[in-house]
Amino acid sequence: MNRGKKRMLTKGRAATAQAKRSYNESYNRGYNQGYDLGHDQGYRNGWQAGATSCSQAFQGTSIIIVTTNDQREHLQNCIESIYQYTPEPFEIIIIDNASTDDTESYLKSLTGKIRFKVFKSNLGFAGGTNQGLRMARGTTLLFLNNDTIVTKNWLSNMLACLHSNEKFGLVGPTTNYISGEQLVPTTYTSTEEMHRFAEQINRSNPSQWQVTGRLTGFCVLMRREMFEALGYLDEGFEIGNCEDDDYGFRARLMGYELVIAKDTFIHHVGSVSIKALGERFEEVYGKNLDFYSKKWGESHSLLAEVQRKLNGALATMNHFYPTGVVVRGVLPQPYWMENGIKRPIEGLSEALASSRVSQVDLRSWSLGDPIQIQEVLYRLEQLNSTATSAAPLQEGELAETPDHTVYQMKEGKMRRLNHWALTHWLLLERGKRQISYSELGSYEQGLPIIAPAVIVANNV
């Protein structure tokens, strides 16, 4: 072959590679623009490929990976292992939390079953994962740390476990580097040895499925229906740590079980993002522990109380929310929420205080007829004025016992609220009827009222 033909072949291959990269960049840009424009207002004005892709669910698993600085090599190893060891249908969604290395250019070079979104500020693990959940189309959803390497049969074994029991809410594997019951002692010293080690474990075996009280968030699988009932991760937890404990606790409150698939092993480098915090780690961890405590109080007794009241039944987060409150989702439109029905408020309601909920929470309530702002203000006034009444407690009214514990009457039952729930639902300043313990005892007590996950980003 002469030099001219060789140069033409080389140029042709370069042009083909550039075309693939351009297609991938256009696809991702189109998808993100299509989704952003279509969210809650129909998929319009987006690029056809992106809009069409995001509107069609598929029978497979959406693998959501959050990444940030100095982790590109880990991310590449993780992605390559997914392609090598995952014959099941899947898509990979990468959320880049403001990396300043070459992660963005690496993502733009990828083709195949990958979509990504790059953010200019760090949303934290919870915020980044929530963005991935928003983009996900799979019938099953999986959080996966970017510093993991998956192994043969990893996903099939976890799926078998998840689908074996409707009460299995969240499923996680074992690994070499983690806290808690998912830790397995290992001695391998290379990736090749690790895969041979994993082959001895990764043989589907229901006797190896263990119900646990805690799953760490390095790898968590759930059904889409579970996500619709449970909602997003709580973005009140900074950067990382404790948001996975919170998520698992909420799942258990709903009556679901957390399960370790001990017939599944994947490799975990471990705590790469957290270690990058350096001296800030203790500060961030302390804040997250404090937030968890304010949100849940004595969590063990709370869980035991809820489990007694559910008596084996399953609930959704909606069952733990109040009545007679004003809420809004990602859009400015406020709703009057009463007994599981949301009614769009019509009129000059811009100045009306409202509690922020996610789109998942908002969708969980049935849509009712519109209600005028004047009627909402009247109902709020009535709920405040009944605080001095001697009549039986009315639906939506608040009551306070001598120890300052606050309850709301909802569906004929007294529902307890802690300070965090009162604050989120804007009920701290609402009038409260003072009642004695004997009066409290004359009413049946229902499930406690809790606050939903904090949503910081404006589009979930």
> What percentage of the chain has pLDDT greater than the value 90?
75
| 99 token code pair | 């990396």
- CB burial of 161-178 (b: ≥16 within 10 Å; e: otherwise) equals bbeeeeebbbbbbbbbbb
pLDDT at 369: 97
pLDDT one-digit tens code per residue, 184-197: 999 999 999 999 99
pTM: 0.86
All domains of the chain, ordered by start, with CATH?
57-296 (3.90.550.10), 317-441 (no CATH)
Please say if the pLDDT value at position 272 is more than 80. no
Cα(56)–Cα(34) distance, rounded to whole angstroms?
Answer: 13
Average pLDDT over residues 427-449: 95
Cα(205)–Cα(201) distance, rounded to whole angstroms?
Answer: 10
Please say if the pLDDT value at position 441 is more than 60. yes
Average pLDDT over residues 160-183: 97
pLDDT at 34: 58
65 contacts 82 by C-beta, under 8 angstroms? no
pLDDT at 270: 83
Residues 6 or more apart from 241 whose CB is under 8 A from it?
Answer: 274, 284, 285, 288
pLDDT one-digit tens code per residue, 316-336: 999 999 999 999 999 999 999
Computed over every residue of the chain, the mean pLDDT equals: 89
Please say if the pLDDT value at position 20 is more than 70. no
Residue whose structure tokens are 């449970």: 230
